């Protein structure tokens, strides 16, 4: 077995240990090992036959980072949720200590910055303007 195979298996084991209610097939999709074709109106599996092991590891790591980021944002908002009502977007970002994350991801990865704004209950029209 190659070291990449071992790394992929360790990711699967760890993920399933941390999420015992998930089925094996769900874990494969959530980790990005299997995935649906992009830009398709129907759900059809993408053929991963030619994907290099390192590509799969990269997808797994990207998805795990995304899950950790979501957890961090949700935790920060949960801690401060009582204070957020009536605040501006900047005030919410400051109070939840998400300002630096938002500024970083606004440039590097709009998906992450949009997630922060959605979780802060910013309306979609405002999000669109902020992220332009």
pTM: 0.89
Rounded distance between C-alpha atoms, residue 106 and residue 26, angstroms: 30
Instruction: Report how far apart, in Å, the C-alpha atoms of 52 and of each of 7, 55, 66, 93 are.
Output: 13, 5, 21, 39
Q: Which sequence spans correspond to the domains of the chain?
A: 1-64, 84-132
SS3 state of residue 3: helix
| pLDDT for the residue numbered 40 | 67
Task: Read off the pLDDT of residues 37-95 as tens digits, 9 standing for 90 and up.
Answer: 887 677 888 999 999 999 999 999 999 999 999 999 999 999 999 999 999 999 999 99
């Amino acid at each position: 077995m190659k070291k990449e195979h071992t790394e992929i298996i360790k990711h699967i084991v760890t993920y399933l240990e941390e999420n015992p209610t998930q089925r094996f097939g769900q874990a494969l999709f959530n980790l990005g090992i299997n995935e649906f074709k992009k830009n398709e109106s129907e759900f059809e599996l993408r053929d991963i036959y030619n994907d290099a092991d390192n590509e799969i590891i990269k997808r797994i790591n990207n998805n795990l980072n995304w899950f950790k980021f979501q957890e961090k944002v949700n935790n920060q908002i949960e801690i401060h949720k009582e204070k957020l009502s009536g605040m501006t977007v900047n005030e919410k970002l400051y109070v939840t200590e998400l300002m630096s994350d938002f500024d970083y991801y606004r440039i590097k990865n709009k998906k992450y910055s949009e997630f922060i704004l959605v979780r802060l209950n910013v309306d979609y029209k405002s999000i669109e303007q902020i992220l332009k």
